[in-house]
Homo-oligomer: A and B are copies of this chain.
Amino acid sequence: MSTVNREIHLASRPTGWPTAENFRLVEAAVPTPGPGQIVVRNQYVSVDPYMRGRMNDVKSYVPPYRLDAPLDGGAVGEVVASQAEGFDPGDVVLHGLGWREYALLDATAARPVDPTLAPVTAYLSVLGMTGLTAYAGLLEVAAMKPGETVFVSAAAGAVGSLVGQIATLKGAGRVIGSAGSAAKVDRLRALGFDAAFDYHDGPVRDSLAAAAPDGVDVYFDNVGGDHLEAAIAAMNLHGRAAICGMIAQYNATEPPAAPRNLAQVIGKRLTLRGFLVADHGHLREQFVTEVAGWLREGKLSYDETIVDGLDQAPEAFLGLLRGDNLGKMLVRV
């Protein structure tokens, strides 16, 4: 075991789009576990859009990242040292201290995963927070019913691609996705989306109207901005939007103006509801059972974009914001 740990620190807070200069690779000593603690050598770390918000120094639902300290986020790795009962070297665990090679944590903050049941990366994506976000947002927050038309933005992303497939598996009448390239649109069709469009091809409102001639009942929002405005315009009476993310504005330096048609929520009796997966842990058991079943039966696919090397994590994150990824963006440490 190396004695040198490598960590990605936040060197400065981005204004607008982040750059490589906002991050710094720092070498430190590999930590030693105290009583009740373990040290984990991370194998994969998760890179997620919500991390952009934590780079700002604003009060939010999670504290901002500190300057000159390692970033954090979901990770899976192997226990290499343990002073905690029930954890032995070689165990694979899921935890929240990514963006570093070796993580020191209280064993209570780690959850063992079984690498024989699924690839370890699945615990960061389809069987992890990403999958539960899709499942809870679609079925609990938006309360999708069989026969309804579902629209999901950023549909080739980690969450979006699961939303669309779960919608179909749960009996949606029509599933529509938007994405940022022709290749992604092709992928959505291969995943079984009934319609898909590249949002660069014209106003989202027009593309959505063409794809949803009978309107939209459920909108799963990962983008905000013009996508949310288009969805409000297309939504049917009593439509519901589960607001998961607004990636279109994470790097905005001016607050966005959209949606200009918000008043339509009255006449159409629409519900717009923001949510965080952390509030939906009560669904986890049902989610794992159902999703693991679909995976076993080959009914659910999940894409991963894996970038090699912890030092490439900032670039992976920048690529995620640009939309370079198909499915879940991960870094192999």
Q: Which residues of A contact B (CB under 8 A)?
A: 53, 60-61, 224, 228, 237, 243-246, 249, 255-257, 259-276, 279
Closest to A224 in B: B263
Secondary structure type dominating chain A contacts: loop
> B265–A256 contact, CB under 8 A?
no
> A61–B268 contact, CB under 8 A?
yes
- Which residues does chain B contribute within 8 Å of A269, judged by CB atoms? 273-276, 279
- Choose from B228, B237, B255, B274 the contact partner of A270 (Cβ within 8 Å): B274
Closest to A246 in B: B263
Task: Name the 10 nearest CB pairs between A and B, nearest first.
Answer: A265-B274, A255-B260, A257-B257, A61-B267, A266-B274, A271-B273, A272-B272, A246-B263, A60-B267, A270-B274
**Distance to closest chain B CB from A267 (angstroms):** 4
- Which residues does chain B contribute within 8 Å of A271, judged by CB atoms? 271-274
In the assembled complex, the Cα of A260 lies from the Cα of B262 at a distance in Å of 12
Q: How many copies does the complex hold?
A: 2
In the assembled complex, the Cα of A108 lies from the Cα of B276 at a distance in Å of 48
- Which residues does chain B contribute within 8 Å of A279, judged by CB atoms? 269
9 CB contacts below 8 A, A to B, read A53-B267, A61-B237, A228-B262, A256-B260, A266-B275, A267-B276, A270-B274, A271-B271, A272-B272
- Choose from B249, B262, B276 the contact partner of A263 (Cβ within 8 Å): B249
With contact pairs A260-B256, A262-B224, A263-B249 given, residues A273 and B274 touching in the complex (Cβ less than 8 Å): no
> B274–A267 contact, CB under 8 A?
yes
Besides A243-B265, A245-B266, A257-B260, 7 new A-B residue pairs in contact (Cβ under 8 A), listed by A number: A255-B260, A265-B272, A266-B276, A269-B276, A270-B273, A271-B271, A272-B273
**Distance to closest chain B CB from A283 (angstroms):** 15
Closest to A240 in B: B273
**Distance to closest chain B CB from A60 (angstroms):** 5
